[in-house]
Amino acid sequence: MAVQTRSVADVCASAKEASRTLARLDSATRDAALEAIAATLEARLDEILEANAQDVAAGEEAQISSALLDRLRLTPERVAGIARGVLEIAGLRDPVGEVLEGFRLPNGLDVRKVRVPLGVVAVVYESRPNVTIDCTALALKSGNAIVLRGSSMAAHSNAVLAELAREAVAHVGVPTDAVALVAGGGRAELREVATQTGVIDLLIPRGGEALKKALMEYATVPVIYAASGNCHVYVDATADLEKARAIALNAKVQRPGVCNAAESLLVHSDVAADFLPSVMRDLRDAGVELRVDGRARAAAGEAGDSVVDATQEDWATEYLDLILAVKVVDSVDEAIAHVNRYGSGHSEAIVTDSESASRAWIESIDAAVVYVNASTRFTDGGEFGMGAEIGNSTQKLHARGPIGLRELCTYKYVVEGSGQIRA
């Protein structure tokens, strides 16, 4: 396992130089790099699991939550899944060089708008070591170099994964420095990454609001915030309640420590008494702590025993844990107003059989992804056919929702003439 001895500035400068070489490599070479990474993941499984075991043991000693431990832990099955994801990305259509539009001007100039790599993409992320490989694969496939800055929680895992990726790509002619990991410098190091103006072309933070606020204070490079996911499921008056029950349970408990897990359940007052007793029993049986308003408690009957009274803060909280806020509302408009006030713009679901309610939800909810009769857990680059994602953007410029290959590109205009000069 290599130890970083170079400064952040030197690492980023080397990545910039590598990005210029990478941009000239053909698609077959970049695909070969991904295939080499996938093969190396399988060949070095024991080494990966040994490093990850150190991180998990440290997490257990630090008494981090079960949800965070789940995000941190790698298993043979999960590593195999990461390798499959890399190969899926390799098999996707190459976005680099795609002609977005082309036309000839009256003066005879031929103009093409062509998709090109951004250059150097930096990703700051927290406890999930799979991000190291997912982001590397997406960056290389789209012709970008990548600078990875993981958390100390997954330091051993990230170091091994980044090093094996660097070694793998070097064997097929991709510059080693196209994959770079910076680690060990705390907040000062993060600040240095975020101020590499002219070197880093895009920074994507994957973390909570604290990370987002910190970067907003000092980042000088372009940033797409793949930040918090305060997601909601709203059960409308016309909903199929069995369908709603399954969706609410899945959205909360299938993997509670991720950004597309539901954090609040909103229920129309017309169906609250029929729906809440059963769904709250389901949730409590799954180990979920329920934080409810007074109307939800009353409608739940015996299932409302042992719940916690919700506070104003609960509506705005991304728990990333087995905790769910529950509120009764009187209309789809009230639900929409609640989501737009407290949601983070990530993923929002309605369960309804009403065309007018679903249309209101689609048109009025201000979020990257809106769902009708489906769980929020599908907001994911892999689930959307992108192979993987480098994050989920909750902002509106350049990229929104899962950030895949095309979102890691920009474009340039290529103009070809035959000697034209402007009069």
Confidence at residue 94, expressed as pLDDT on a 0 to 100 scale:
95
Q: Are strands 323-329 and 99-104 parallel, antiparallel or unpaired?
A: unpaired
Confidence at residue 2, expressed as pLDDT on a 0 to 100 scale:
44
Confidence at residue 398, expressed as pLDDT on a 0 to 100 scale:
83
Q: Which residue has the tokens 């609410």?
A: 248
pLDDT digits (tens, 9 = 90+) for 12-52: 999 999 999 999 999 999 999 999 999 999 999 999 999 99
Domains within the chain, CATH numbers bracketed = 8-226+390-416 (3.40.605.10), 231-378 (3.40.309.10)
Q: pLDDT confidence of 3, banded at 50, 70, 90?
A: very low
Percentage of residues of the chain with pLDDT beyond 90:
81
Residue 121 and residue 144 in contact, taking contact as beta carbons nearer than 8 Å: yes
Chain-wide mean pLDDT for the chain? 93
Residue 328: strand pairing partners: 267
Q: Is the dihedral of CA 396, 401, 404, 406 positive or negative?
A: negative
pLDDT at residue 303 is higher than 90: no
Region class of 390: left (phi > 0), else alpha (psi between -120 and 50), else beta? alpha
Q: Is 269 helix (H, G, I), strand (E, B) or coil?
A: helix
Q: How far apart are CA 345 and CA 365, in angstroms?
A: 8
Query: Any residues with CB less than 8 A from the CB of 368 and at least 6 apart, and which?
Result: 345, 346, 347, 379, 392, 393, 394, 400, 401
Which helix (H) or strand (E) segment is 15 a member of? helix 8-22
pLDDT at residue 83 is higher than 60: yes
pTM of the model as a whole: 0.82
Q: What is the average per-residue pLDDT within 69-90?
A: 94
pLDDT digits (tens, 9 = 90+) for 148-173: 999 889 999 999 999 999 999 999 99
Report the 3 state secondary structure along 33-96: HHHHHHHHHHHCHHHHHHHHHHHHHHHHHCCCCHHHHHHHCCCHHHHHHHHHHHHHHHCCCCCC
Which helix (H) or strand (E) segment is 209 a member of? helix 209-218
Choice among 135-144, 223-232, 401-410, 412-421 with the minimum mean pLDDT: 223-232
